[in-house]
Amino acid sequence: MRNTGVQIPPANIPNTVTGMFQLYFTDELIQNFVDETNRYARTKIAALGVLKPRSIWRKWSDVTMMEMKCYTGIILKMSITSACDMKDYFSTRWDNYIPFFTDVISRDRFLMIHWMLHVEADNPGMQRQTRRMKIRNMVTHMKSKCTELFIPKQNIAVDETTIKFKGRVGFLMYNPQKPTKWGLRVFSLCDSETGYLVQFEPYYGQTTSNALPNPNLPIPARIVLHLVNEFTGAARNTGYHVYTDRYYTSPSLGRELKKLGISTTGTVMKNRKDLPEEVKKKYLKLKKHE
């Protein structure tokens, strides 16, 4: 195993929340947003042909790095500030007025950036973009940063996370047993000691399942192996111990992890395929709290 813990020299560790945020949301990533948004906007506006005299797109100009940072800050602020409609954040009425939003950027400029925002614009001549491809470069960047900046200790855990969301997307999930019932599902591999997110895989529906490696294995086992392989990479770091819940635990997963030099522990369902009979008889008759 590599040296565990934070992979940043102590002298370079930021002492502000903004600095920590920028370790992951780098200028390089934001510049990518700027370039793709401007490219997409120019294509869309050109396709409109002759603009109407009062069209808002007559005011369009390429987004700058500073404007994209302002846009990102406003989106984050909106997540903790309630309003009935997006335009209400920029209201100047005395009963709704919030100075922060109008001081940072005008409402029309914000909406233009919001409508044209693209992380990875469509490329002419290429195959039709899938859900995964539309944010592929951002997800790839974040995955690399998560692994680059922190190496977990021996014990790691795999589970699923629900990001609260009720928007209109085809892969919205509903789970009545979770505290956050509606949202976007993300499969996560975390450091057991600190809870740090080491590796993740967003769930886009069937496209995610089809793209997972080891098609001969059950989907839960493929998820764990994918996250572990993404984390360990070509170095094949061994010595880790993966903890899973009953959704993921299976004999086939244990065998595959053993090949990688990784141990596993987890709860298991009685009807899990390939579970040995002696295990069912001896260990799966525990009473409550045993």
Helix (H) or strand (E) holding 42: helix 27-48
For CA atoms 87, 79, 20, 137, the dihedral sign is negative
Instruction: Give me the pLDDT at residue 110, please.
Output: 96
Q: DSSP per residue over 171-206, as a string?
A: T-EE-TTSSS-EEEEEEEEEETTT--EEEEEE--SH
Instruction: Give me the pLDDT at residue 47, please.
Output: 93
Is the predicted pLDDT of residue 143 greater than 70, yes or no? yes
- pLDDT tens digit sequence for 187-217: 999 999 999 999 999 998 888 888 898 889 9
**Arithmetic mean of pLDDT, 87-97:** 89
Where residue 37 falls among pLDDT bands split at 50, 70, 90? very high
**For residue 264, which of 242, 245, 282 has the smallest C-alpha distance?**
242
Q: Residues 192, 155: contact at Cβ < 8 Å?
A: yes
Above pLDDT 90, what percent of the chain?
Answer: 54
The per-residue pLDDT of the chain, averaged, comes to 87
- pLDDT tens digit sequence for 151-181: 999 999 999 988 888 777 778 888 888 788 8
Q: How far is residue 226's CA from residue 250's CA, in Å, rounded to a whole number?
A: 15
Instruction: Give me the pLDDT at residue 235, please.
Output: 45
Better pLDDT: 282 or 73: 73
Instruction: Give me the pLDDT at residue 133, please.
Output: 76
Above pLDDT 70, what percent of the chain?
Answer: 92
Q: How far is residue 160's CA from residue 203's CA, in Å, rounded to a whole number?
A: 10
- pLDDT tens digit sequence for 248-264: 999 999 999 999 889 99
Instruction: Give me the pLDDT at residue 167, please.
Output: 79
